[in-house]
């Protein structure tokens, strides 16, 4: 593992397509960087969904051989909602992360089916209600900091970016801890 500051969120394995973790990290980091591009919201939400799927698959693989549940052994890949339930059932995904990940999955689906969709305050309420109080306090603190640094970022974009970062941080920590215990 290299010593890049963001590397703490990643473990040393390839994703299902064989993409090196560092290349995936760079792609996700670029995709989530705020821009004025009209498709930024769509891009950030979809890429974060891919990131969360990556983590869920990695956590599930620590418990079972996931290849028996993936193409070519079955016709379709495992849907995100099924991966959430499976990770919860296997005990690799704590309860406090299931609800935020499920709510994010709903938002991701809305964006995936409407290219003109933009983030709004209405998108924030279900995400916010899904968080634990400590997660909500952390999010609000970092959101204020982000908005102070970059006055062009909207409150809803700042919220979603920090929401994604908090969930990715929690999932990365779980994966690191479980991977270390497996060795």
Asked whether residue 65 carries a pLDDT value surpassing 90, the answer given is: no
CA separation for the pair 84, 91 (Å, rounded) = 11
- 122-131: pLDDT as tens digits: 999 999 999 9
Higher-pLDDT residue of 142, 77 = 142
Interval 48-73 mean pLDDT: 85
Domain boundaries, the chain: 6-182
**DSSP code per residue over 50-68:** HHHHHHHHHHHHTTS-GGG
Mean pLDDT of the chain: 80
| Contact call for residues 111 and 41 (beta carbons, < 8 A) | yes
18: left (phi over 0), alpha (psi -120 to 50) or beta: left
If you classify domain 6-182 with CATH, what class do you get? mainly alpha
């Amino acid at each position: 593992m290299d010593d890049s500051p963001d590397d703490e969120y990643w473990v040393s394995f390839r994703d299902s397509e064989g993409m090196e973790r560092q290349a995936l990290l760079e792609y996700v980091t670029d995709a989530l960087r705020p821009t004025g591009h009209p498709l930024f919201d769509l891009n950030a939400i979809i890429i974060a969904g891919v990131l969360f799927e990556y983590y869920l698959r990695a956590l599930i693989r620590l418990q079972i051989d996931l290849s028996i549940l993936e193409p070519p052994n079955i016709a379709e890949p495992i849907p995100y909602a099924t991966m959430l339930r499976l990770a919860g059932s296997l005990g690799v995904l704590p309860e406090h992360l299931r609800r935020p990940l499920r709510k994010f999955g709903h938002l991701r689906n809305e964006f995936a089916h409407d290219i003109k969709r933009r983030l709004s305050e209405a998108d924030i309420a279900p995400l916010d209600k899904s968080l634990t109080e400590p997660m909500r306090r952390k999010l609000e603190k970092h959101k204020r900091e982000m908005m102070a640094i970059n006055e062009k970022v909207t409150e809803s974009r700042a919220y979603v970016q920090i929401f994604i970062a908090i969930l990715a941080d929690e999932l990365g920590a779980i994966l690191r801890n479980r991977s270390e215990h497996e060795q």
